[in-house]
């Protein structure tokens, strides 16, 4: 080694956090659009679960009209669950997750970006497919409109809460079942108010209160869930 | 000798009921290359992950520029470039997209300089092929292209020589020496026979460690 050690220069550039978040969303969207099968699977699952009910229970219009909202909400919930395992798994396997943990920006905001990308890739397509399935289940136009609105508010909550479970079960070999067991209880309030809103609307009751509560869920999930997911990721990676 | 940029004091780490190392002191000084050595299972990767801040299950203290690292999380991460076993390359993206997404969150660079870095690692003509179609050595080169455009002074590289061919190894050795000469520091594990002039060696094994200079 030289007797006079050279001076160390510290990295000076500071990248704003929104830019780092945008980079994560862009990367996830790009990678997923190249692997379309992964995108299509939750949608097909959603479609198939919904078609099971007319086939298995009853194709009568009165039954479907009554149960339709519940069926659609439960199916959306299950297909979100199905896609959650992939949320961090691929990044974990190829090492991108480690690199994300080492980014200078706050980790919870990066996790928020990951959850948002997950919603854009699974939640949003579900919301767009829901009206078609609603017509199939003989729901009336007003109910379909409210249903889509509740799904639009509710599915991001599902992605955000699901990210906590996905992060916690990341290090486990068979995390899929455990993930469902952990997360389903947390989904129940969203399910109750999601279907409750549509039921109120079809009875002619005001839905403002219900929607406000759903928005409150969303606000809570956006502000709190990323902290929990970030902490869970740190634990999972620390033990890997 | 200048101040250590990264210093670990009295590190102890257990895996299961086995002590990997205890009472371990590590100083990473600017201008040096430190090679962590030891047999398989001695805890080389664990030590590197602890130094990089990825593993929290240790006791002891890690200091960044003389102060506890936890106080300076952002500054520490801005100045650290870590390439692990799993190099952080997405198989569905092209080398250029991978390199861009890894560097843009630290220091945005023009596509031109990113392409130059890829060419510099011998990936000329592969910029727009998906990484899953590349060989293991080529994927490793994509990750190592980050070193060519790095402004981070501290490099922590786990098994960086894996899957590299003869020319790749020579190029990387040169890169490590140049980085140390310009005031950076490198911590590296490798099973490759690496011997740079003035290299520090840190030997792990059998539950105890000695720091030979």
**What ipTM score was computed for the predicted complex, to two decimals?**
0.89
Q: Which of residues 106-145 of B touch A (CB under 8 A)?
A: 106-108, 130
Q: In what order do the strands lie in the sheet with B185-189?
A: B80-83, B154-158, B185-189, B32-37, B200-205, B208-212
Give the residue among A232, A18, A169, A24 at the shortest CA–CA distance from B90: A24
In whole angstroms, what is the distance from residue A110 CA to residue B51 CA?
Answer: 22
Checking phi first, is residue B142 left (phi over 0); if not, alpha (psi -120 to 50) or beta?
alpha
Helix (H) / strand (E) containing A183? helix A175-202
- The alpha-carbon gap from A85 to the nearest alpha carbon of chain B, in Å, equals 17
pLDDT in tens, B112-155: 999 999 998 888 889 889 999 999 899 999 999 999 999 999 99
Report pLDDT for B1.
55
- Residue B37 has which token pair? 């050595």
CB atoms within 10 A of CB A218: 18
pTM of the predicted protein model = 0.91
CATH 3.40.350.10 fits B1-79+155-163+183-213, yes or no: no
Mean pLDDT of A160-177: 89
Q: Does A6 touch chain B (CB under 8 A)?
A: yes
Mean pLDDT of A150-176: 92
Strand partners, B186: B33, B155
Confidence of residue A234 (pLDDT cuts 50, 70, 90): very high
Q: In a 10 Å sphere around its CB, with 0-12 CB exposed, 13-18 middle and 19+ buried, how is residue A23 labelled?
A: buried
All residues of chain B having their beta carbon less than 8 Å from the beta carbon of residue A20 are: 104-105
Mean pLDDT of B64-80: 92
Say whether A99 and B88 touch across the interface (CB within 8 A). Answer: yes
Q: Does A16 touch chain B (CB under 8 A)?
A: no
The answer, yes or no, to whether residue B213 has pLDDT greater than 50, is: no
A69's CB contacts (< 8 A; 6+ apart) are A139, A143, A147, A195, A198, A199
């Amino acid at each position: 080694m030289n007797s006079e050690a050279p001076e160390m220069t510290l990295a000076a550039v500071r990248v704003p956090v929104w830019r780092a978040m945008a980079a994560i969303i862009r990367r996830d969207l790009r990678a997923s659009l190249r692997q379309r099968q992964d995108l299509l699977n939750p949608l097909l699952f959603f479609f198939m679960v919904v078609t099971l009910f007319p086939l298995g229970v009853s194709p009568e219009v009165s039954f479907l009209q009554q149960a339709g909202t519940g069926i659609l909400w439960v199916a959306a919930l299950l297909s979100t669950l199905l896609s959650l395992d992939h949320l961090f798994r691929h990044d974990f396997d190829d090492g991108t997750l480690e690199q994300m943990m080492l980014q200078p920006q706050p980790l919870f905001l990066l996790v928020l970006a990951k959850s948002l990308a997950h919603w854009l890739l699974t939640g949003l397509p579900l919301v767009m497919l829901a009206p078609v399935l609603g017509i199939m289940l003989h729901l009336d136009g007003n109910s379909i409109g409210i249903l889509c609105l509740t799904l639009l508010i509710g599915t991001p909550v599902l992605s955000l809460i699901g990210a906590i479970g996905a992060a916690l079960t990341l290090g486990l070999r068979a995390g899929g079942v455990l993930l469902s067991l952990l997360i389903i209880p947390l989904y129940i309030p969203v399910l109750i108010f999601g279907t409750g809103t549509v039921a109120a609307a079809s009875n002619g009751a005001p839905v403002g209160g219900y929607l406000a509560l759903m928005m409150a869920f969303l606000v809570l999930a956006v502000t709190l869930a990323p902290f929990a997911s970030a902490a869970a990721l740190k634990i999972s990676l620390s033990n890997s | 000798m200048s101040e250590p940029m990264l210093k670990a004091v009295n590190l102890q780490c257990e895996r299961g009921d086995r002590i990997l190392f205890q009472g371990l002191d590590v100083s990473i000084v600017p201008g040096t290359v430190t090679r962590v050595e030891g047999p398989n299972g001695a805890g080389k990767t664990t030590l590197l992950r602890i130094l990089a801040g990825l593993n929290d299950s240790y006791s002891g203290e890690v200091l960044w520029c003389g102060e506890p690292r936890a106080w300076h999380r952002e500054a520490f991460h801005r100045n650290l470039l870590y390439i692990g076993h799993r190099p952080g390359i997405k198989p569905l993206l092209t080398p250029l997209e991978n390199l861009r997404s890894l560097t843009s969150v630290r220091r945005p660079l023009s596509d031109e300089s990113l392409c130059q870095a890829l060419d510099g690692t011998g990936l000329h003509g592969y910029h727009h092929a998906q990484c899953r179609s590349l060989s293991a050595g080529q994927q490793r080169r994509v990750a190592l292209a980050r070193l060519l455009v790095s402004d981070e002074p501290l490099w922590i590289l786990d098994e960086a020589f894996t899957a590299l061919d003869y020319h790749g190894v020579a190029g990387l050795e040169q890169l490590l020496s140049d980085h140390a000469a310009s005031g950076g520091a490198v911590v590296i594990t490798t099973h490759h026979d690496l011997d740079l002039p003035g290299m520090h060696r840190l030997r792990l094994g059998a539950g105890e460690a000695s720091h030979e200079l």
